Amino acid sequence: MCGIVGYVGHRDVTELLLEGLRRLEYRGYDSAGIAVQHGAEISIRKKAGRVHELGKLVEANPVAGTAGIGHTRWATHGETTDINSHPHVGGNGEVVIVHNGVVENYTTLRAQLQQRGYVFRTATDTEVIAHLIAHQLSEQLKLGSDPERPDTYVTAVLAALAQCKGTYGLAILFRDAPNLLIGARLGSPLVVGVGQGEFFLASDPSPLVGYTDEVVYLSDHELVVLTPAGMELRHRDSGSLTPSIQTIEQTPADIELGDFEHYMLKEIFEQPTTLENAMRGRLDDDEATAKFGGLNMEPQQLRRIDRIVLTACGTSWHAALVGEYLLEEFARIPTEVEYASELRYRNPPLTDTTMIFAITQSGETADTLAAMRECKRKGHPTLAICNVVGSTIAREADGGIYLHAGPEIGVASTKAFTSQVTVLTMLALYLGRMRHLSYPAGHRIIQQLREIPQKVAQALESFETVRKIASKYASYDNFLYLGRLYNFPVALEGALKLKEISYIHAEGYPAAEMKHGPIALVDPNTPSVFIVPRGGIYPKVMSNLEEVRARGGPVIAVACEGDDEVADMADDVLFVPEVDEFLQPLVTVIPLQLLAYQIALLRGCNVDRPRNLAKSVTVE
């Protein structure tokens, strides 16, 4: 969840590190710090709070050098304090590290190191790694290893990591080896940026944009040795590797706010474009189907599939629920949705004709990755729906589909959700046309998909109406979100958005389930948000709405344009364009995203960096 940035080369590193941490702050923002090397001296500046606070500290106490590491933290072990902030020091200052991940056996290792005389200054698990590396380095030097050779330091790092259980993404500096930067990865992403006489290290490519477009993605158990003269990539067990250099497609504009106040708002308004990008080149009018280049499965194999399991976490799990409806309706394939955090520890009866889809924005979600690996281990076709090219899940899946949504920096996911639903719609069309779905039906789905970006743009026109409604309800502390069929997952997603960024208790339910318990919560202080567009069960949802009204509960409705019946019954209405039922989630979710955003602003919450959350959950 935390962010790492590192550099070795010819530039003054301080501002580069700070700018990199600003770009990575969505990954963690409890505290931040940098370590800058100048000759045989490593200077550390770190501070609890945002990167802005670190910047003020560095301005008051400048540091300079051409090698350094930085970190923005999402706390797992130890409170959010200056002392617990990264970087951390090993031994007597000969090792300085930043770390993403969790050392599961840190209490045992800490006790062993304390017996050897190592003094711990923090409550973090990371300090264990720093002291372990320092200890192993001293052992190497006792054996006569050359302190001028990088291999001495590599051997110490590998020996230390062999004792650690858990996950790590590491960037390491050594006091006595200027211009040497070592990175190591197990379960927490790292990417190397390749420049001319300079190299970068980061948790994801965003800090590298504008500096280089050539990157190497580290895999688990890999270690990279960086100096201004070059890069060496090694596997923990098998030795040297040949780096696979890839090109990143991001531009500086992708990670800039532009005219928007927040990244979340920018990403909400990008959705007409991101949906077009998700569909570009994937709709085949001649065959009335979708086409994908990366599934890596022949049609004969796909026709053998008789069961699909979609596994995901958070917002991606809600998109998967929509996918379940789509796949069963159009492809007639039994589909289940599993929380990845549960699936990784279960042993469900999956056959060789069961296909697994891991759905993830970042491609690094720890639980989703573990669930996917477990299914792969048992021989099931395991594919991914992912946004980040080069991410671990994208690389390890047997095949998959990219969202092409561009970087999503706001912690509360918005455009990824609609892109995932769009991709799942096209997947249902593709598999459906392989089975029983007729040509006219396939062609009709394609036509409606092509109209969706414009429909989403129309839904975004509710922005000012949402602002007025938000001002009316921002002081309430409990909300219910209610929808049926395709709009039940939207109710869950709307409630999650409100919880994430407004810190308001909100629950999503199938509207008909309200009578089986949740209706007890209805009172004048608990607004109910009904998702009630026109469709086959419209009268049923309207009946549920009336039941809430009869008990004095305020009602906010998301309804189709021109629906006077809803307008007469609800206290407030957010209108969306009318679309076919299977596409309704793509338009009904838009005002709910905007509502959460506006209420968060009115409550004074940090929209892009909500408390206790980070963008990519890379620890269990």
Q: Which residues contact 459 (CB under 8 A, 6 or more apart)?
A: 576, 577, 587, 588, 590, 591
Active-site residue 615, yes or no? Answer: yes
Domains of the chain (ranges; CATH) run 3-254 (3.60.20.10), 260-437 (3.40.50.10490), 459-607 (3.40.50.10490)
CB-based burial label for 458 (10 Å; 0-12, 13-18, 19+): middle
Compute the distance between CA of residue 101 and CA of residue 3 in angstroms, rounded to an integer: 10
Q: Can the peptide bond before residue 524 be classed as cis, meaning omega within 30 degrees of 0?
A: no
Q: What is the pLDDT at residue 277?
A: 94
Residue 463: count of CB within 10 angstroms of its CB: 16
Judged by DSSP in three states, 386 sits in strand
Q: Are 40 and 91 in contact (CB under 8 A)?
A: no
Which residue of the set 2, 164, 386, 560 is catalytic?
A: 2
Residue 321's closest CA among 203, 421, 467?
421
- DSSP 8-state symbol, 121: -
Ranges of the chain whose pLDDT falls below 50: none
pLDDT digits (tens, 9 = 90+) for 114-139: 999 999 999 898 999 999 999 999 99
Identity of the amino acid at 433:
R
Active-site residue 164, yes or no? Answer: no
3-8: strand order across its sheet? 41-48, 31-38, 67-73, 3-8, 199-202, 191-194, 214-217, 246-247
Q: What is the pLDDT at residue 572?
A: 92
Judged by DSSP in three states, 578 sits in coil
